[in-house]
Structure formats: C-alpha cells, structure tokens
C-alpha cells in the first residue's frame, strides 16, 4: 500500500506519468552526461589521438601517447613515486585516524557532536588553504624549524618542504577526515556491550582489543585505507605546492601536460592510466573485503 507512488500519477493515464518522470530526470541527467559521462568518453578518445600541439586533431587513431608513457623510464619513475606516495599516505593516515574514529565511535561525551564535526569539518575547507598551512608549518622559516632553532637543537635548516616528505605529511593530514568518516561508518557494529561481554568472559583489555575491536573494525579500516590511497594517487595541488616542482607524481604530470606542455593526448593517456590504476585498486579492495567477511 505504501508502495504507491504519488497517487495522482496512478489515477492519470500512464503516459502522463511517464512525461512527469522524464521531466524530473532530464535536467539532472543532461548535466551529469555533459559533466561526467561525455568527459570520460572524450578522454578515452583523446588518449588515442596524435599529439599535435594544443588542439585535438581530426579522426586519426594512434597509440603514440601510450607508447610514450610505457617506454619512457621517466613515466615509470613517476608511476612508482605515485604508488609510494599513495601507500605512505594511506598507511599513516589510517594509523593516525584509527584512534580518533575509535574514540568518536565509543565516546558518550556530550561534546560528541562537536568533536565529530571538528574531525570531519576540515573536509570542507579548501585543500589549497590547508596546504598553505603546512607550508607555514614545515617551511624553512616555519613553525618547526624556528622552534628547533630557538631551542638550539639544530644548527641549520632542516628541509621539510620542496620534497616528497612535505607532500606526504600534508596529504596525510588533508585526507585524514576521509579516513575518519569511512571508519566511523564502518564501526557501526562496534559497541561497548560487546567489549563488556568479552571482559566479563575473562578477556583482559589487550585481548578485548585484539579479539573483539580489531576484527570488527577491520572492514572500516580497509575502506578508509582504500579511500585515502585513491585520493592520494590522484592528488596534484598538494604535491605540486609542497613539492615546489620537485615532486613528480601522476597528478602533477597530468596537469603539466594539460596546461603547460599542452600535449592533451598525453595528458589524456596519463589520466586513463590513472583511472586503470584506480579501478584495479578498487577491485582488489572488493576482493579483500569479501575475504574479510567470510
């Protein structure tokens, strides 16, 4: 009974309700096709176009861009850098986010809402702004270096920016809210009653953690790791600014080919590679999740 749609639609002729449905769907679908579906198709097409400067040339198909990517050792190094960055960021972001997520999932504090908002809110501040914050913290005359110097702990400046270390640290912090959010939704099955039950059955706190909390939170942790990894390997604003042009990852190279070198077919081919990397990681993740659940 409750399955009935807007009842007026049912009493009026069927084609009228189809007309209404079309009216509801069309604007959004057109917008999504233009801004999502079409770009992906174009991207694929462009990656097979010849690399004449700037514009796409007509109807010719070539694998030139792909062969450039596959046979130039530079791009192999870029791909390797990207993967290393992705793994480092994912591992540390998950380790640092886990306690916060666990705390938020279990706390009965009346500030829980505020604390959750505080942990998640950075998502809604521009990544450019937060990258700038890390430039201030890690810069040559930034928070860390000036503190160390005023304490006379170091003689000279420790280089924390313009290298992959800075990019990694900044990305860890920038992507942590995603990890926290993913874990929080994954921790739904955790509750203090389970822990109390385990404790009453004689488990000490370490065993409660390893036998109850860790297994139950594993899927959430896995989701968080995946999310952070895929966001890290496709980032370019933070690696570009924190790396000062000395960090080469897929994101920065795509941007470079698209806006500086203006080799759009190459930019497209690199994007397709990134997309393939992305999809294979997601497939692996689904395998892993299924393995965890059985």
Partner 1 sequence: MADHHVVIDNLVKTYPGAQKPSVDHVSFSLPRGEMLALLGPSGCGKTTILRMIAGLIAPTSGAIRLEGKDVSSIAVYKRNMGMVFQAYALFPHMTVAQNISFGLEMRKVGRAEREERVRKALDLVKLTGLGDRKVSQLSGGQQQRAAIARSLVIEPELLLLDEPLSNLDAKLRDEMRDEIRDIQARTGVTAIFVTHDQDEALSMADRLAVMSAGRLEQVGTPREIFDRPQTEFVASFIGAGTFFEGQVAEPGLAVVEGLKSLRFVGEAPVGSTVKLMIRPHRLVLADSAGQPNSFTGTVEHIVYRGQILTLNIRCGGRLLQADLPTHAGVLPEKGDEVTLAVAAQDVTLVGQVAP
Partner 2 sequence: MQSNPLLGRFAWNTLIALLYLFLLAPIIVVFIISFDTRQYLAFPPESFSFGSYVKVFQNVKFISAFWRSLIIGAIVGLVAVSAGMLLSLSLVRHHFRGKAAVNFLILAPFLVPHIVLAVGIMLVIAPLGLLDSYPGIVLAHLGITIPYTVRTITMSLMAVDTRIEEAALVHGASPRMVFWRITLPLVRPGLIAGGVIAFLISFDEATISLFIVSVKASTLPTEIYHYLEYSTDPQIAALSVVLILISVGVVMVVEKLIGLRKAL
**Site residues, partner 1 (CB under 8 A):** 1, 4, 7-8, 10-12
- Choose between 11 and 150: whose C-beta lies nearer to partner 1: 11
Which one of partner 1, partner 2, none interacts with residue 154, CB within 5 to 8 A by kind? none
Distance between CA 19 and CA 42 in Å, rounded? 31
Among 65, 69, 90, 134, binds partner 2 (CB under 8 A): 134
- Choose between 23 and 201: whose C-beta lies nearer to partner 2: 23
Which one of partner 1, partner 2, none interacts with residue 130, CB within 5 to 8 A by kind? partner 2
- Choose between 2 and 294: whose C-beta lies nearer to partner 1: 2
**Using an 8 Å Cβ cutoff, are 197 and 212 in contact?**
no
- Choose between 36 and 294: whose C-beta lies nearer to partner 2: 36
Question: 247: closest CA among 172, 166, 145?
Answer: 166
Question: 131: closest CA among 180, 97, 168, 89?
Answer: 168
Which one of partner 2, partner 1, none interacts with residue 48, CB within 5 to 8 A by kind? none
Q: Which stretch binds partner 2 (CB under 8 A): 82-90, 189-197, 199-207, 218-226?
A: 199-207
Does 27 engage in binding with partner 2 (CB under 8 A)?
A: yes
- Choose between 3 and 124: whose C-beta lies nearer to partner 1: 3
Which one of partner 2, partner 1, none interacts with residue 10, CB within 5 to 8 A by kind? partner 1
Q: What is the dihedral of CA 210, 211, 214, 219, to 10 degrees?
A: 150
- Choose between 10 and 196: whose C-beta lies nearer to partner 1: 10
Question: 82: closest CA among 224, 258, 253, 222?
Answer: 253
Distance between CA 137 and CA 134 in Å, rounded? 5
In the bound complex, what is the minimum distance in angstroms from residue 121's beta carbon to partner 2? 5
**Using an 8 Å Cβ cutoff, are 254 and 47 in contact?**
no
Q: How would you label 274-287 residue by residue, b for 16+ Cβ within 10 Å and e otherwise?
A: beebeeebeeebee
Which residues, numbered 31-70, are part of the site for partner 2 (CB under 8 A)?
A: 31-40, 42-43, 46, 55-56
Which one of partner 2, partner 1, none interacts with residue 122, CB within 5 to 8 A by kind? partner 2
- Choose between 14 and 129: whose C-beta lies nearer to partner 1: 14
Instruction: List the beta strands (DSSP E) in the chain.
Output: none
State the chain's maximal CA–CA distance in angstroms: 83
Which residues, numbered 255-294, are part of the site for partner 2 (CB under 8 A)?
A: 255, 258-259, 264, 267-268, 271-272, 274-275, 278, 282
**Using an 8 Å Cβ cutoff, are 162 and 76 in contact?**
no
- The first and second tokens of residue 208, run together, are 């409660």
Mapped onto helix, strand or coil, the DSSP state of residue 58 is coil
Which residues, numbered 223-242, are part of the site for partner 2 (CB under 8 A)?
A: 230-231, 233-237, 241
In the bound complex, what is the minimum distance in angstroms from residue 209's beta carbon to partner 2? 7
């Amino acid at each position: 009974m409750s399955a009935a749609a807007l009842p007026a639609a049912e009493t009026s002729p069927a084609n009228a309700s189809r007309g209404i449905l079309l009216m509801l769907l069309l604007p959004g679908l057109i917008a999504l096709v233009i801004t999502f579906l079409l770009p992906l198709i174009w991207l694929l097409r462009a990656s097979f176009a010849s690399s004449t400067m700037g514009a796409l040339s007509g109807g010719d198909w070539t694998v030139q861009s792909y062969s450039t990517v596959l046979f130039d050792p530079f791009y192999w190094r870029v791909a390797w850098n990207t993967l290393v960055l992705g793994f480092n960021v994912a591992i540390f972001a998950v380790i640092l986010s886990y306690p916060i997520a666990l705390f938020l999932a279990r706390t009965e504090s009346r500030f829980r809402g505020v604390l959750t908002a505080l942990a998640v809110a950075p998502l809604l501040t521009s990544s450019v702004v937060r990258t700038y914050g890390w430039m201030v913290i890690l810069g040559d005359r930034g928070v860390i270096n000036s503190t160390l110097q005023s304490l006379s702990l170091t003689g000279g400046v420790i280089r924390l920016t313009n290298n992959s270390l800075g990019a990694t640290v900044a990305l860890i912090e920038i992507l942590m809210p995603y990890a926290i959010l993913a874990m929080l939704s994954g921790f739904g099955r955790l509750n203090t009653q389970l822990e109390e039950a385990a404790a009453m059955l004689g488990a000490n706190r370490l065993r409660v953690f390893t036998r109850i909390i860790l297994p139950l939170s594993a899927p959430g942790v896995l989701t968080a790791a995946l999310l952070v990894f895929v966001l890290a390997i496709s980032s370019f604003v933070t690696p570009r600014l924190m790396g000062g042009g000395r960090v080469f990852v897929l994101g920065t190279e795509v941007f470079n080919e698209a806006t500086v070198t203006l080799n759009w077919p190459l930019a497209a081919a690199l994007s397709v590679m990134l997309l393939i990397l992305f999809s294979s990681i997601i497939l692996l993740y689904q395998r892993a999740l299924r393995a965890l659940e059985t």
